[in-house]
A and B are shown apart, each in its own frame.
Chain A
Amino acid sequence: MITQKLIKRRPLSIELLMPFVSIVLVFVPIVVLKPNILNYFGIHLLLNMAIPLVLATIAQMFAMTIGEIDFSLGNLVSLVTCIVGTTLAKNPVLAIALLIGILLIYMVLGALFYLKNIPSIVVTIGLSFIWTGVAVIIQPSPGGNVPAWIVNMMGYKPPLIPMPLLFMVGIAIILMLILFRTKFGVLLRGVGGNKRAVEQSGHSVLKVQMFVFLLVGLFGILSGTALAGITTSADARIAQNYTMIAVASVLLGGGSFSGGTVSAVGVVLGACTMTMVGTLLTFLKVSPDWQIGTQGIIILAVLFVNSQLKQKGRVRYV
């Protein structure tokens, strides 16, 4: 009886509620300020810009779940807008080759991080120089010509339910299935929690790591494509702050730097919250000068509450 009590699963902890609480805290003021946002087109506009950020956040989440980080993500997303917005129309074969090349580079790096035991943060810093360099060569100044099918796809308006909303629900379900219903998902979280344990149970950490970085590259490419479709432009610097906003979104969604913990719904909600913070500040008529600082304060406040909930009762040495 006692043992049964001991091995009983911990009930859903309060920290899992954080992403829900924070999105409500941002969404409610938006609705109060602009009640007419609560219709089909309002929701479409509000959430459309969140799509690329959600995809970038998922990319960063995969890296962070195994305790790594991609410091070049924002540069990659920008590069992809250039490839999609410029090269794809002019020379489709080259564009596809470049995208496949990116995926291969990510896979090779994933293997090298494991085999040579090198820190992903520094290699991806080097990578960020390379992405931006290539992007500027492709598209020296913002412009380009995004193929119509991508623009139409991002502007798709299904009956009744706005496309971004459908997308958010769909991607959350897919993510949940990947993370919690597949062997890869178990291994992924296992590598983040205890690499050695996964190794000694006879699984190849190398394969997991290569696949994880393949997914980082893939979701980075999806994010860039979505962004190009929404902004209809190729810009080598458009998404540079995605790197860190994605990290903040993962943390907001219940992930952690040390890896192992992850929440599919949390990640999607976290990225939506981060996008809506910008909208809210605009609605509040905060001057553009103050916006980035206010965003900083909001990130700090949310993570402060988050950390207080998480750390309760734990001994800290540092």
Chain B
Amino acid sequence: MSSSANTLSRINLINAYLSKNRWIWSYVGVVILYVLTGFVSDNPFQTFTASIGFSSFLILVGLGQMLVITNGPGNIDLSIPYTLAFAGSFSLKMTAGIDQGIFLGLVIAVLSGLIIGTLNFVLIRYALIPPMIATLANSFIIRTLTIVYFRGMLIKPPKALEHFVNTRILGLPTLFVLMLLLSAVIHVVLNKTSYGRGIQAIGQNPKAAYLSSIKVNYYKLITYALSGLFAGIAGFLLASYTGGATLGMGGEYQSNSIAVVVVGGTSIAGGDSNVQGIVGASILLYLVTNFLNIIGVGASYRSIITGIVIVSIILATGRGRGKN
């Protein structure tokens, strides 16, 4: 009798822990996928490192998207794909393909990202346009600029940069290690700084946050600027990683950046964020793709299965009614 009650309370404890730490699901997924890859591949670790190499960019833009979503209902950044393409094209052009230009390229990528992000904020705050449409319409404009100024130019990245983005530390891609460090920093920022706690408060109740003299506008400005900044840097790095910038290079990051945020356990309603989940979910998404690739599943079936994985993780981690 007492032992069954014990088990029951233990199960309840585990349930409570899981519903509080929903990011664990993405890591459970990663482990399952890794084991599955082990069955079909001679070298699962290689598949794993290839996946985390690509996931670095998704982690970077996912962190930006997470900060935006933390600000509460409606806040979302749909300008990421073309910010990425614009910053990638512009910065690579400014490097002129030589190693001396890398610093200038980085500066351009950072500035483009910051300016686009700030513009998003201005449209949302001062033109009072809902974030979803403001960021999307802004990205239409940026897309046009990218087409007009950088069309058909495949600029080779500088040699040193191309080498750097492909290096490894202890067998892991350097970029991934850097993204882990950045994630750690963002985690601390979210939980220990007034900015991080501020945006979580805004996400939970903007009115209460405003009345407790949190600088709502200032923090939102920083958030959208950071999201733009991360997308800009991601564009610069991704263009160097894949050997050149293209107009469509950011396409997959639109839905994926939102998906990793929520699959990673961050509440889409805002105010409750999770950094570890972003890392886990990003790796999971690319592991799924690579695993399906290895067993010879075509692109369309891969798309369907990715969709099913996203939907089922959301369903598994749903909070249930009244528990929000």
Contact = CB atoms under 8 A, between A and B. Distances in A.
B54 to A, nearest CB: 17
B307 A128 contact: yes
Give 10 closest A-B pairs by Cβ, nearest first.
A293-B144, A296-B140, A129-B307, A116-B318, A126-B310, A133-B304, A133-B303, A307-B128, A130-B307, A126-B311
Contacts of A142: none
A303 B299 contact: no
B159 interface: no
A49 to B, nearest CB: 19
A140 to B, nearest CB: 8
A149 interface: no
Contacts of B300: 132-134, 136-137, 140
A251 interface: yes
B259 A126 contact: yes
B127 A318 contact: no
Interface string A20-59: 0000000000000000000000000000000000000000
Contacts of A71: 255
Contact of B132 (A257, A307, A308): A257
Given A136-B300, A300-B134, A304-B127, A125 B259 contact: yes
A296 B207 CA distance: 31
B39 interface: no
Interface in B126-151: 127-130, 132-134, 136-141, 143-145, 147-148, 151
Given A130-B307, A299-B133, A300-B123, 19 more contacts: A71-B255, A116-B315, A116-B320, A122-B259, A122-B263, A126-B259, A133-B307, A136-B299, A244-B133, A244-B136, A289-B147, A294-B144, A296-B139, A300-B127, A303-B127, A303-B129, A308-B128, A317-B207, A317-B211
Contact of B311 (A115, A127, A292): A127
Given A126-B308, A126-B310, A247 B133 contact: yes
B133 A251 contact: yes
A310 B129 CA distance: 11
B134 to A, nearest CB: 7
Contacts of B315: 112, 116, 118, 123
Nearest to A138: B300
A116 B321 contact: yes
Given A117-B323, A125-B310, A296-B140, A304 B129 contact: yes
Interface string A71-101: 1000000000000000000000000000000
Contacts of A247: 132-133
Contacts of B211: 317
Contacts of A122: 258-259, 262-263, 268, 310, 314
B306 interface: yes
A119 interface: yes
Contact of B141 (A119, A251, A296): A296
B322 to A, nearest CB: 8
Contact of B128 (A134, A294, A304): A304
Interface string A171-198: 0000000000000000000000000000
Contact of B314 (A126, A134, A292): A126
B60 to A, nearest CB: 19
A311 interface: yes
Interface of B: 74, 76, 78, 123, 125, 127-130, 132-134, 136-141, 143-145, 147-148, 151, 202, 206-207, 209-211, 216-217, 220, 255, 258-259, 262-263, 268-269, 299-311, 314-315, 318-324
B137 A300 contact: yes
Given A133-B303, A290-B144, A317-B216, A307 B310 contact: no
Given A296-B140, A317-B207, A136 B303 contact: yes
Contacts of A130: 303-304, 307-308, 311
A299 B269 contact: no
Contacts of A134: 300, 304
A216 B324 CA distance: 26
Nearest to B125: A318
Given A133-B300, A300-B123, A128 B255 contact: yes
Contacts of A289: 144, 147-148, 151
B314 A123 contact: yes
Nearest to A112: B315
Contacts of B138: 296, 300
Contact of A318 (B78, B147, B151, B216): B216
Given A126-B259, A318-B216, A117 B307 contact: no
Contacts of A153: none
Contacts of A136: 299-300, 303
B311 A119 contact: no
A171 B173 CA distance: 56
A148 interface: no
A299 B137 contact: yes
A288 to B, nearest CB: 9
A129 B314 contact: no
A121 interface: yes
Contacts of A114: 321
B140 A292 contact: yes
Nearest to A136: B300
Contacts of B259: 122, 125-126
17 contacts: A69-B132, A117-B318, A121-B258, A126-B309, A129-B307, A133-B300, A244-B78, A289-B148, A292-B140, A296-B139, A300-B134, A303-B129, A304-B127, A307-B128, A308-B128, A317-B209, A318-B216
